[in-house]
Chain A
């Protein structure tokens, strides 16, 4: 049962004048291969909505953070901005300093290649991003050979400049080295040198420090900040680590399952996180302080399967403060039962498992669920026991009614509501707990 998403409002404070790159209603979907039979019958497989309607702009000279867990779509968004994955719908527009407006999402491969001189990427694993058979000189100069057809002394001068900019000096020590001769931090410096050698305007940095030792992370982040000022760069900084994002980003977009759930200035996001997911991410960072322990009320579970996302708000199954319209459904009932049995395995589980019958039928997202085979009284009692174990469980807020239908129990859930991004005190947040200020104006 599809939930009707709210129509997203036109992005508020960002205008195209100060934007370098903009994503407008961007969708990136990947088709999953169905079964052989389904393909034979011409049925289409399911799709994974890696990016599901994102509006975001990178402003000139800023560091925009894309933060979220694996599977949130942050890397796909970064790659879509570079045209490395095709957009299914919506557009990416690059407002170039020299080349004017270019709609990246409509470019062919030849034009995309030319765009690399303006937008470059820094990869997560510097060990994998450098060709082990190329010397540092060859690797860093390679973009110039490809795009500018440089060679000889001019090429070497430019490579030496880039090496010095990233701190790999004296350059003679590094030119002839192979990636295997360098430490992790040095390799990442080389990757950054290769990215800046074409003098791009935009760098997409995908987890640039997460593979590095703690002792050098700060150093590489500082290098990136210095380069930004020296070379008038704008960064998209992709990370799962809010602590480093806090340090380097001007604005932060928190992503969850293909959408932006909160976006705003870093200071405001950290001082006053609004979305329950942002709050959870902040609380979960292990601080090097033995007096501060991780809270006990961390969200359970993991990011759900994007091929069959939860109804309503995607975060509701893990949300500690979810309310009735957040999208409660049959699959949440299954989770509830499984958590109960995790606490009570053994004899309790054996007896109750037979009573509730086939759990597989709860796997299809529905707003009503049937539980039990013959013993409806017993099933009802089981639900009451589970409820008594934890009366504050948000799941129960989503239950509109429970009734005995003779051969089991039927649960009805409230109508789901899929919140769009709405302004809330300086940031935008996609959560029903924050009443839509714009709607209030309308009424």
Chain B
């Protein structure tokens, strides 16, 4: 049920944390759009700013963090909204699914009470019958039998609890949901069940989803488009098929290569670790780890360009290979790599 109306649109969005020293620029100028009913996957190593971006979109940042740039939810300018107005949007319009389901459920409250509290908070004066019918519908979508409606959280297994959390988010029918590593704590079979449910969500609710994960397999399974994040920037974004078939950015390519899957025939890994975001390397931030780095990569930061494959990439090597830029011979000289110690790793 994908339509063309844009639900979330970010332009040059930045999020940074103030520290005693330099500010940590966790999200440093990202631009993207999410359309209605679309699932965008966000992937990258730990410390690349994925979770900060997810929370920044919802305005759920800790004290001492600041946002800048442009962020629109439908036609609303999120960075100009008052705190109270933002607060009112959350839950009803904007949802968040966490990694640890048990810590988010109140052990003394029945599931039915969780639902009625949630619905009453966001819809004053909602009737008892409507609470029940909406709750049961959300449970049905997540495959939880109505017989369990009055059970307590401890009576559910781990996978069921995560499905409950998703149902509690969906019962408010938010237009946009951020799911931050929703299946990381779960077993493979349960994970597969939940990924499938997330993938099927658009058939029932017209929810757009930002799915944050470090597992490329999950992205391939559930997402329409994928954004690859490195050191606070989106280095590649495009249709999931295209990005997986023909990755344009060396980081995407190496990330795919280092994923251990059933078809893995050799062990691959990316040298080094993501940089300190208070002082990222000059030029392209990936250049110290990049196998394709050239002189230009160290000197000038690449700009986002749409490649012939259709995905948008920030990479001199891709731009050059696809004839989008002309580089001088000097600029094309492969960068002499500083030796990365074996154990400098993520």
Residue positions of A touching B, CB distance < 8 A: 69-70, 166-170, 173-174, 183-186, 189, 212-219, 221-222, 240-244, 246-247, 270, 280-282, 284-294, 296, 298-300, 302-303, 337-339, 341-343, 345-346, 349, 353, 359
Contacts of A289 in B (CB 8 A): 220, 244, 261, 263
The smallest beta-carbon distance between B342 and chain A, in angstroms, is 4
23 A–B contacts, CB within 8 A, in A order: A70-B158, A167-B342, A170-B341, A183-B273, A184-B46, A214-B259, A218-B267, A242-B188, A243-B260, A247-B264, A280-B189, A285-B217, A285-B262, A286-B192, A288-B244, A290-B220, A290-B244, A294-B192, A298-B192, A299-B189, A338-B147, A342-B139, A345-B139
Contacts of A293 in B (CB 8 A): 221
The CA-CA distance from A241 to B184 in the complex, in Å, is 12
Interface residues in B127-168 (C-beta closer than 8 Å to A): 133, 136-137, 139-140, 143-148, 157-160
Contacts of A285 in B (CB 8 A): 188, 217, 261-262
Q: Does B270 contact A (CB under 8 A)?
A: yes
Contacts of B259 in A (CB 8 A): 214, 288
The CA-CA distance from A321 to B159 in the complex, in Å, is 23
- Residue in B136, B187, B221 whose CB lies within 8 Å of A240: B187
Pair A345/B146 contact, Cβ less than 8 Å:
yes
Contacts of B143 in A (CB 8 A): 342
A-B CB proximity, top 8 nearest: A286-B217, A338-B145, A218-B267, A69-B187, A284-B192, A288-B216, A185-B345, A219-B269
The smallest beta-carbon distance between B264 and chain A, in angstroms, is 6
The CA-CA distance from A300 to B192 in the complex, in Å, is 10
- Residue in A166, A214, A242, A339 whose CB lies within 8 Å of B45: A214
Contacts of A215 in B (CB 8 A): 45, 254-255, 258, 269-270, 345-346
The CA-CA distance from A434 to B244 in the complex, in Å, is 39
The CA-CA distance from A241 to B143 in the complex, in Å, is 25
Pair B215/A214 contact, Cβ less than 8 Å:
yes
The smallest beta-carbon distance between B50 and chain A, in angstroms, is 12
Across the interface, name the chain B residue whose C-beta is closest to A218. Answer: B267
Q: Does B343 contact A (CB under 8 A)?
A: yes
- Residue in B147, B189, B215, B273 whose CB lies within 8 Å of A69: B189
Q: Does B102 contact A (CB under 8 A)?
A: no
The smallest beta-carbon distance between A39 and chain B, in angstroms, is 21
Pair A287/B220 contact, Cβ less than 8 Å:
yes
Q: Total A-B residue pairs with C-beta atoms closer than 8 Å?
A: 175
- Residue in B137, B193, B346 whose CB lies within 8 Å of A216: B346
Contacts of A218 in B (CB 8 A): 258, 260, 267-269
Q: Interface digits, B231-264 against A, CB 8 Å rule (1 contact, 0 not)? A: 0000000001100110000000011101111111
The smallest beta-carbon distance between B201 and chain A, in angstroms, is 15
Pair B264/A246 contact, Cβ less than 8 Å:
yes
The CA-CA distance from A227 to B217 in the complex, in Å, is 29
Interface residues in B170-203 (C-beta closer than 8 Å to A): 187-193, 195-196
Pair A167/B343 contact, Cβ less than 8 Å:
yes
Residue positions of B touching A, CB distance < 8 A: 45-46, 133, 136-137, 139-140, 143-148, 157-160, 187-193, 195-196, 214-221, 240-241, 244-245, 254-256, 258-264, 267-270, 273, 341-343, 345-346
Pair B343/A169 contact, Cβ less than 8 Å:
yes
Pair A221/B267 contact, Cβ less than 8 Å:
yes
Pair A353/B262 contact, Cβ less than 8 Å:
no
Q: Known: A286-B217, A294-B221. Contact between A183 and B346, CB under 8 A? A: yes
The CA-CA distance from A342 to B138 in the complex, in Å, is 10
The smallest beta-carbon distance between A67 and chain B, in angstroms, is 10
Pair A302/B159 contact, Cβ less than 8 Å:
yes
Known: A69-B189, A214-B45, A218-B267; 8 extra A-B contacts, CB below 8 A, are A186-B343, A186-B345, A214-B214, A215-B254, A244-B260, A246-B262, A290-B245, A353-B147
- Residue in A70, A213, A345 whose CB lies within 8 Å of B136: A345
Contacts of A212 in B (CB 8 A): 346
Pair B137/A345 contact, Cβ less than 8 Å:
yes
Q: Known: A287-B220, A302-B190. Contact between A169 and B342, CB under 8 A? A: yes
Pair B157/A302 contact, Cβ less than 8 Å:
yes
Pair B146/A349 contact, Cβ less than 8 Å:
yes
Pair B267/A286 contact, Cβ less than 8 Å:
no
Q: Known: A70-B187, A342-B145. Contact between A302 and B160, CB under 8 A? A: yes
Pair B214/A302 contact, Cβ less than 8 Å:
no
Across the interface, name the chain A residue whose C-beta is closest to B140. Answer: A345
Contacts of B148 in A (CB 8 A): 338
Pair A213/B46 contact, Cβ less than 8 Å:
yes
**Which of A170, A280, A299, A302 is most buried by chain B, counting CB atoms within 10 A of its CB?**
A302
The CA-CA distance from A254 to B157 in the complex, in Å, is 22
The CA-CA distance from A346 to B270 in the complex, in Å, is 52
The smallest beta-carbon distance between A62 and chain B, in angstroms, is 19
The CA-CA distance from A218 to B265 in the complex, in Å, is 11
The CA-CA distance from A343 to B145 in the complex, in Å, is 8
Q: Known: A243-B260, A281-B189. Contact between A213 and B220, CB under 8 A? A: no
The smallest beta-carbon distance between A242 and chain B, in angstroms, is 7
The CA-CA distance from A126 to B269 in the complex, in Å, is 19
Pair A284/B258 contact, Cβ less than 8 Å:
no
The CA-CA distance from A174 to B221 in the complex, in Å, is 40
- Residue in B216, B217, B270, B343 whose CB lies within 8 Å of A168: B343
Contacts of B219 in A (CB 8 A): 288
Contacts of B188 in A (CB 8 A): 69, 240-242, 281, 284-285
Q: Known: A69-B187, A294-B196, A302-B187. Contact between A243 and B264, CB under 8 A? A: yes
Pair B220/A185 contact, Cβ less than 8 Å:
no
Contacts of B241 in A (CB 8 A): 290-291
- Residue in A241, A294, A341 whose CB lies within 8 Å of B145: A341
Pair B215/A342 contact, Cβ less than 8 Å:
no
Pair A342/B342 contact, Cβ less than 8 Å:
no
Contacts of B157 in A (CB 8 A): 302
The CA-CA distance from A196 to B140 in the complex, in Å, is 51
Contacts of A219 in B (CB 8 A): 267, 269, 345
The CA-CA distance from A197 to B264 in the complex, in Å, is 31
The CA-CA distance from A217 to B214 in the complex, in Å, is 12
Contacts of A294 in B (CB 8 A): 192, 195-196, 221
The smallest beta-carbon distance between A413 and chain B, in angstroms, is 21
- Residue in B46, B191, B346 whose CB lies within 8 Å of A284: B191
Pair B262/A243 contact, Cβ less than 8 Å:
yes
Q: Known: A183-B273, A184-B46. Contact between A213 and B346, CB under 8 A? A: yes
The smallest beta-carbon distance between B340 and chain A, in angstroms, is 12
Pair B147/A217 contact, Cβ less than 8 Å:
no
